[in-house]
Amino acid sequence: MSVRVAYITTARSDYGPSYWLIHDLFADPRFEMHLVVGGSHLSERHGFTVAEIEKDGWPIAARIPFLEEGDDDASYGRSCGRALTAYADLFAKLKPHVVVVYGDRLELLPIVSAAVVTRTPVAHLCGGDVTEGAIDEQVRHAVTKMAHLHFPSTERSAARVLQMGEEPWRVHMAGDPAVDHFTRGDHASAEELAALLGFRPDKRTLLVTFHSATLEAADMPRQAAELAAALHDYGGSLVITAPAPDPGSAAVRREMERLAKTRADTVFAESLGSRNYRGLLRLVGAMVGNSSSALNEAPCVPLPAVNIGSRQQGRDRTINVLDASPQRTDIQTAIAKALSNEFRATLAHVRSPYGDGHAAERIIDVLAERALDERLLRKRFVVSPPPRPEAA
């Protein structure tokens, strides 16, 4: 009997990293794979990135257009309400043996809730991470408690999942599937990227991706303006990617679009596509912003990264990451250090803390073994020994 999998993707941030896992699930005869596409993938405002999925050739089992075109908390709440209804209907009809979700986006709460109420097991990728500056922190840990199989990306994350009372047989430290791209995926050449961007990216080019720190949404206009000011007079070229559709993202988008219009050799891209993005990581001088790819993918190059503000606070990282406050002078100082020959020389032996590029095969082997296990739905809370008090 094959395992019927519903693989959920709602944004470019969970599709690109999961490419090879999706590829291998479709290719493995042990699985009946159903790719479910929703959220910002189906939004014109956010680049209609379902087109990238179609270009990759995957059959799409269902399209769930739940995202409301708004930037305030209420609009996100209404989007989540629609998602709960739509995914509950889908799971009741499809009856998957397991639903697979990646990461910590806000819409995972209604999607995983729909799985719980339809008694559908959930496999959660990249649980146990810490991002103290974003709503994602609460979402990720809530999903962990609702999920039935866990595939954390680092040993520290796996330990946190166990600390939350999950049974050890459910927890499998696999690595982040995003790292698989750097061992298996191809990448766009400098010539291809020059034709796309209108200039040839080089070691003076910065790849800029700045998302909303959702616990600080009210401050995002100021933070985005500080970043724009820090970059305005930078001497090299800029490739800016659009922020994720989170509360506070509209202010970031406005500043980054305005910046792209006011300086030469600057491109604002709604979505670069995974292949182009990987190509840029290999060519540019540094990343700037607060994307998780600076922490998990950039070390594979290795590429210096300037991490701004609190969104990634607490997440595992290695020495390629330079932290900066959302102040223009701090950002400029960190960029100068990131581009220096002295700093780049320290990165020669850097490796990503998020795995070795074999996450997909580990995840697939566990899903084939565990996804039909009748124990999955009956969760038991494992009480850990209480911590010892510190010595006086």
Between 38-52, 96-110, 224-238, 251-265, the lowest mean confidence (pLDDT) is in: 38-52
136-146 helix and 108-117 helix, angle to the nearest 10 degrees: 10
Q: Mean pLDDT, to the nearest integer, of 132-149?
A: 93
CA angle in degrees (0–180, nearest 5) for 327-211-195 = 105
pLDDT for 390: 52
pTM: 0.88
Mean pLDDT over all residues of the chain? 94
Number of other CB atoms surrounding residue 187 within 10 Å: 18
State yes or no: pLDDT of 386 exceeds 80: no
Indicate the pLDDT class of residue 45, thresholds 50, 70 and 90: confident
Structural tokens at position 126? 């990249």
Indicate the pLDDT class of residue 387, thresholds 50, 70 and 90: low
DSSP secondary structure of 37-86:
EEGGGG-TTTT-THHHHHHHTPPEEEEE----S--SHHHHHHHHHHHHHH
Question: Strand 238-241's sheet: what is its strand order?
Answer: 266-269, 238-241, 206-209, 286-289, 305-308, 321-324
AA identity, residue 20: W
* Coil/strand/helix, residue 133: coil
Q: Mean pLDDT, to the nearest integer, of 337-354?
A: 96
Q: Mean pLDDT, to the nearest integer, of 30-49?
A: 94
* Coil/strand/helix, residue 195: helix
State yes or no: pLDDT of 391 exceeds 50: no
Give the residue extent of every domain in the chain.
Answer: 3-176+355-370, 188-345
pLDDT for 342: 98
* Coil/strand/helix, residue 266: strand
Tens digits of residue pLDDT in 184-239:
988 999 999 999 999 999 999 999 999 999 889 999 999 999 999 999 999 999 99
Indicate the pLDDT class of residue 359, thresholds 50, 70 and 90: very high
Do 188-345 and 3-176+355-370 fall under one CATH topology?
yes
CATH 3.40.50.2000 fits 188-345, yes or no: yes
CB 127 within 8 A of CB 150: yes
Q: What percent of the chain has pLDDT over 70?
A: 98
Structural tokens at position 102? 């990646």
pLDDT for 389: 55
pLDDT for 392: 42
AA identity, residue 67: L
- Please provide the CATH number assigned to the domain covering 3-176+355-370: 3.40.50.2000
Q: What's 284's DSSP letter?
A: S
Q: Mean pLDDT, to the nearest integer, of 266-280?
A: 93
pLDDT for 188: 95
* Closest CA relative to residue 205, chosen from 150, 134, 279: 279
More confident residue, 136 or 64: 64
Burial letters 19-29, b for 16+ CB under 10 A, else e? bbbbbbbbebe
AA identity, residue 109: L
